[in-house]
Structure 1
Amino acid sequence: MSWMSSRRYILLSLLGAAAVVWHAFSTREQFFPSMVYLSSSKFSLAVLGNMAFAVALGTYKLLLRVFLGRLRDSEVERVNDKVGQAVVETCLAMTIFREDFTASFLT
């Protein structure tokens, strides 16, 4: 995915999330009912989850650009493989050591 199409996807995801949040607050008019709607509506959860993925993708692309600069295609493929392995290993570690993951441990 090129940088321009990534930016377009991130922008559209943020606009969609902003529209869902605006709709929730304009129709419910209070904080608690709006939050209940946002956390229980399947559509709003899908849009907000998509926004979270888009923000993670944007952060990943930004960190790659800041710390590694411009990379060749083979280098990008290698970095993507390593990041994928790291994410899987982290998820496995979180399931194995779930009792040890407390707020004090994470800080």
Structure 2
Amino acid sequence: MKILRLTISVIVIGVLFFSMPLHAGDQVPNNQGQKDECLLILKNCEMQAESLQQKINRLNEEIAKGTRVYSPDELKKLKEKLQDANRTLELLLNDKQTLGM
């Protein structure tokens, strides 16, 4: 019985170990013709940390792809997120000026 458990454990570990490289290749980098799901629905973000300016730049790049990549509803969401990010940046800059920085 112990040999059977050991054999099954080794097989399961082997399958998991060797399938990891296969799953690593599933992540396709954002190319010109692909949606940025992280910006749209916070999916596939891979713990991205970016500055507000970087987010604004990414949103502008994605919006520029237009309807050949995004549906009209998705473009609307991206534009709303861009407006929010720009408003936040404006508020931060105004606060800096108010504080005399």
Q: Which structure is higher in RCO with an 8 Å CA cutoff and minimum separation 6?
A: 1
| TM-score, L = length of structure 2 | 0.31
| TM-score, L = length of structure 1 | 0.30
Q: Which has the higher helix share?
A: 1
